[in-house]
Amino acid sequence: MLCLGIESTAHTFGIGIISDKGKILANEKESFRSKHSGLKPQEAADFHLSNACKVLKRALAKAKLSIKDVDVLAFARGPGLGPCLKVGATAARTLSLLHNKPLVAVNHCVAHIEIGKLLTKAKDPVVVYVSGGNTQIIALEKNRYRIFGETLDIGIGNMLDSFGRTLGLGFPAGPILDKMYFKGKKYIELPYTVKGTDLAFAGLQTAAEKLIGKVKKEDLVYSLLQNAFAMLTEVTERALAYTERNEVLLVGGVASSRALRSTLSKMCKARNAKLFVPKQEFCVDNGAMIAWLGMLEFLHGKSTPVEKSAVKQKLRLDDTEIKW
């Protein structure tokens, strides 16, 4: 059985095709980029619209399939940016109606976790989900992924991109900042905000922005990332101790950061825990993760009637029941 999944929650329009055994046959995408500004929802949605057919054709060609060979269609219902979500949902509904295939609306955050578990073979991890809009420390408890700790203001990825923009970098700024981190030598004191198991990044960003032009750029980036990632690591360590787990699964776009991986892996080593990180292609937003969650949900009896397939910008992680 094959599921085709469509991702369009933010900057990426992706289409993946996966089998019921978890074999990924295609994972194609186009991502919105901007040299001078951040992510504007309508601009990204227009970008998705103009790339949708191209990405679909590419995915089918890669898998050597026709749309008729696909058994199930999945799309990311949320959370995400309204205009972007609607493009993916409309594409999935159209294909479902045209070809008479069942439709499954899935949770983007859960999809990140499930593809991570599939590809790394992590069994019951504490999940560190870090992306533009999301920063959450998660563990599975009684058939729901529960949020153990999360950001109280902005997502870590948005903080990095927004700081990068002030610094004059394009979007996305994360990868450039990550390279700069390793060139920084001197730590500059910046706010460090952990409240119990929650975190906050806005104060850190503001304080760092005030120092632009006054200190060496590389040192500032080094200190900003140092604090942000140490905060995340502290909360993750607390979650490991509290939930008595010994696996950490790092997912989301910011999981690509070498600086974050190295900070987390030091903590994991010290605790005898194992750190799992999927390949970069599957850390960032992608269609294969939506296809895999669609497949899991479909195999466990779920499908979504077209008239009940409205997108949900603020869909919560624990809205989704985990039946597998």
Binding site for Fe ion (CB under 5 A): 131, 285
For the bound state, the minimum distance from the C-beta of residue 217 to Fe ion, rounded and expressed in Å, comes to 28
For the bound state, the minimum distance from the C-beta of residue 184 to Fe ion, rounded and expressed in Å, comes to 27
Measured from the CB atom, the residue of 134 and 304 that comes closer to Fe ion is 134
For the bound state, the minimum distance from the C-beta of residue 305 to Fe ion, rounded and expressed in Å, comes to 26
Measured from the CB atom, the residue of 80 and 149 that comes closer to Fe ion is 80
Task: Print the SS3 string covering the chain.
Answer: CEEEEEECCCCEEEEEEEECCCCEEEEEEEECCECCCCCCHHHHHHHHHHHHHHHHHHHHHHHCCCHHHCCEEEEEEECCCHHHHHHHHHHHHHHHHHHCCCEEEEEHHHHHHHHHHHHHCCCCCEEEEECCCCEEEEEEECCEEEEEEEECCCCHHHHHHHHHHHCCCCECCHHHHHHHHCCCCCCCCCCCCEECCEECCHHHHHHHHHCECCECHHHHHHHHHHHHHHHHHHHHHHHHHHHCCCEEEEECHHHHCHHHHHHHHHHHHHHCCEEECCCHHHHCCCHHHHHHHHHHHHHCCCCCCHHHCCCCCCCCHHHCCCCC
Measured from the CB atom, the residue of 237 and 285 that comes closer to Fe ion is 285
For the bound state, the minimum distance from the C-beta of residue 178 to Fe ion, rounded and expressed in Å, comes to 18
For the bound state, the minimum distance from the C-beta of residue 88 to Fe ion, rounded and expressed in Å, comes to 13
Measured from the CB atom, the residue of 116 and 125 that comes closer to Fe ion is 116
For the bound state, the minimum distance from the C-beta of residue 51 to Fe ion, rounded and expressed in Å, comes to 18
Measured from the CB atom, the residue of 70 and 159 that comes closer to Fe ion is 159
Measured from the CB atom, the residue of 125 and 132 that comes closer to Fe ion is 132
